[in-house]
Amino acid sequence: MLKLIGFKSITNPITIIYRLFVLLSLLLLITACKEDSSKKKSPEVISDSHPNLILTQNAVSDIKKELGNVPIFDATLSKAKEEIDKAIAKGIDVPIPKDMAGGYTHTQHKANYSNMQKAGVLFQILGDEKYAVYVRDMLLQYAEMYPTLGRHPQPRSYARGKFFWQCLNDSNWLVYTSQAYDCIYDWLPKEQTDYLNKTLFRPYADFLSIETPQYFNRVHNHSTWGNVAVGLIGLVMDDDELVQRALYGLSKDDVDLTKKDNDGGFIYDKDGKAGFLANLDQPFSPDGFYTEGPYYQRYAMYPFMIFAEALQNKKPELKIFEYKDGVLLKAMDALLNLTDADGEFFPLNDCQKGMSYYTTSLVSALNIAYYYGNQKPELLSVAKAQNKVQLDASGLAVAMGIRDEKAKPFVKTSIELSDGANGDEGAVGILRYNDSLNTMALVMKYTGQGLSHGHYDKLSFSLYENGEEILQDYGLSRYVNVEQKNGGGYLKENKTWAKQTIAHNTIIQDEVPHFNGDFATGSKNHSEKYIYDVSNAKVQVMSAKENNAYSGTDLHRTMVMIKEEALEKPFVIDMFRVNSDKTHQFDLPYYYFGQIIAEGFEAKTPSSLSALGSKNGYQHLWKEASGKSNTESLQFTWLNNRKFYGLTTATKTDDTILLARLGANDPKFNLRNDPAFIIRRNAKETIFATVIEPHGNYNPVTEKADGAYSEIKEVKVLFNSEKYSALSIDLKSEEQRVFIISNDNASDKASHILEVNGHTYQWKGTHYYN
């Protein structure tokens, strides 16, 4: 530095002082620059040079500075490198498409797009050209093959793809491959990008959109993937026509849009819109709930969030994360709340059980939500449990937040999530209890239909304890990517069983499903929220009505989670009121797991099994036992996962009790053999009143049963009318509890007086418990 400013040749004292002043100013300037660079950066400006979508040039620079200092990011990068090094050593395989989901060619093409995406990122971060060469060589093979292909040879989908049996998977390929292409775009010579754009990518985008409008131009998770695939490759190629097509859908000038598809979707949404923005407007409620259910919300969140990140980087003027009052960021919170204690999604509508927020798509979605949202420290605790991050700026921010110990617990509490574009088409209600030893979650569904993945099960519920299903929803009938099971696609039993009303814990009238199982009718209707009140943690209430599932019949279900000081765990009150214009047979099933301990009635078992019915799902239930209740209160007890559970219900002496098991008329053994307890009643106006109680445990080592008997002695209906319903719960401690709900006034300010059996009950609000 001294030599640079010429001190060595200076003898004049004034000149020396001046030069010292210059040196001091220079040092102060350098220090100021360093301090400024340590502050939070303002939003980066993305240049036209690549990469500039998901992984950007600025992000690459920031990542390189932090390598070796961010444990989760470093571990994720190391694992990706190990995987791709093995893939490179194995060689490139681009087979001619042939198989359904789970087959060799299907699996190989999936591996290819995943490997290319990771290899592109590794090239940018590590600077090793072997990863770029791997992506380039594979893309050239795809470009050579693509013009030779017709639609996939498997004719199973309403929208057959090229590389895969359905366009949905082709869109997966293009979403991931676009990211890889962006990472090597500037590395490739122009003649190669021109060749790939002309031969592979633009034709592929046109195929997924203009050539397959029934897939692209609809409101559905499928079309979201299609929109994003076309939009991302449009951003890579700076093809604004494709980007506009992705955002707003096809126009009438693009293609004939008069034909409809037969998979439960539709051309345009009800407001005449299609494209990515329409898929944000319609399926998402203002609370971030996705009408198809959490399983498909999880699946759709990756394309939603990855395209949003690309748009934020490339087209920040759209302010996509502010769209619809920030619905994408709300959706991430909603989705995390739709999980049990183990992070597994509640199986509402079509849902494969066991899917959880540990899936890779949710790693990316969570990272993006954290980075582009308010950087909530609660999200970091979920990311820490996931133990991996997305290899971009969002993943780096999450990894640094975890490293710097900014994470706070994501505590799932009681919550109601509205359904419908405007939040006025019912909801999902969740009541939760948490303490140091136990968590319980009660989930009630009073939503809209849920598009093509919806089930006919209005006012159904499921119950969880510490992540274990106590009373279950079946979920879907499919073995995803298991080729032996219908090529990994949906099984016919999804329609004949899983979507049927009898497959769920809700009322079935005359063995006919809600809305007669008709999609168009179901789509026009939704349940109505009546009450959701969790202001008292010890008495949490949710209540909803369904007046369209059956003509002339109104259904009203109220569910309450009660925590009594004297009882270790909460219990659940289930009041299901039915009011019809004539007498019907009503079935109310409870699908449990485990071994019956006490059935509570004189069960008659047949010498040979027969199906419970001939259609609408009843044909799949074996009738294992039946009998009359012969009492006004019946108690059914079972043991599951070393814990006891009791179901105490107010019955009529002529009620039929059925014990059933799934598996009838199932020649391919596609269904699980789950048991059910069913209350059958013939009535015009009635109420099913039940208390569900977890109690005690069994230790097979000590062979000791603690609390094997329920603390509930008896449940009785005290009163039932259009205005009020009341039940009493007698405890074995000789105490009695009474619960009353107002059936026609949901105001929390209304005052009520009800006289029952000489007792006068007076209260303010929607319900009474004491």
Distance CA 645, CA 635 (A): 10
Distance CA 673, CA 498 (A): 13
Strand residues in 482-527 grouped as ranges (E) = 508-509
Distance CA 713, CA 725 (A): 20
Q: Which residues are paired to 469 by β-bridges?
A: 464
DSSP state of 199: I
**Alpha-carbon 282 to chain mean position:** 16
Active site residue 456: no
Torsion sign (Cα): 304, 305, 308, 314: negative
**Residue 460: strand, helix, or coil:** strand
Instruction: Fill in the amino acid letter for 44.
Output: E
Catalytic residue among 142, 296, 372, 433: 296
Tokens matching residue 530: 């009546």
Starting at the edge strand found earlier in the chain, the sheet holding 712-720 runs 712-720, 724-731, 736-742, 767-769
Which residue, chain included where needed, has tokens 């603390």? 711
Distance CA 59, CA 56 (A): 5
Which residue, chain included where needed, has tokens 């998901």? 54
- Count Cβ atoms below 10 Å from residue 388 Cβ, excluding itself: 21
Residue 445 host element (H or E): strand 439-446
Q: Is residue 766 within 8 Å of 742, Cβ to Cβ?
A: yes
Distance CA 294, CA 316 (A): 29
Answer left, alpha or beta for residue 703, where phi above 0 means left and psi between -120 and 50 means alpha: left
Distance CA 292, CA 53 (A): 28
Tokens matching residue 766: 């929607």
Q: Is residue 394 within 8 Å of 367, Cβ to Cβ?
A: yes
**Alpha-carbon 95 to chain mean position:** 33
Tokens matching residue 99: 């198989």
Residue 682 host element (H or E): strand 675-699
How many CA atoms within 13 Å lie on the side-chain side of 120?
A: 32
Q: Is residue 234 within 8 Å of 205, Cβ to Cβ?
A: yes
- The CA angle 665-671-674, to the nearest 5 degrees, is 105
**Residue 227: strand, helix, or coil:** helix
Tokens matching residue 156: 């199973």
Tell me the CA distances in angstroms from 167 to 174, 301, 485, one per residue in order: 10, 18, 20
Tokens matching residue 450: 């849920």
**Residue 717: strand, helix, or coil:** strand
Q: Which residues are paired to 306 by β-bridges?
A: none
**Alpha-carbon 605 to chain mean position:** 40
Distance CA 595, CA 640 (A): 7
Q: Is residue 562 within 8 Å of 690, Cβ to Cβ?
A: no
Determine whether 14 is exposed, middle or buried from the number of CB atoms within 10 Å of its CB (0-12, 13-18, 19+). exposed
Tokens matching residue 242: 């494709």
> Dmax over Cα atoms in the chain, in whole Å?
118
**Residue 621: strand, helix, or coil:** strand
Catalytic residue among 50, 222, 453, 514: 453
Active site residue 455: no
Which residues lie closer than 8 Å to 729 by C-beta, 6 or more apart?
573, 691, 712, 714, 715, 736, 737, 738, 739
Tokens matching residue 43: 């939003």
Point out the residues that are catalytic. Answer: 296, 453
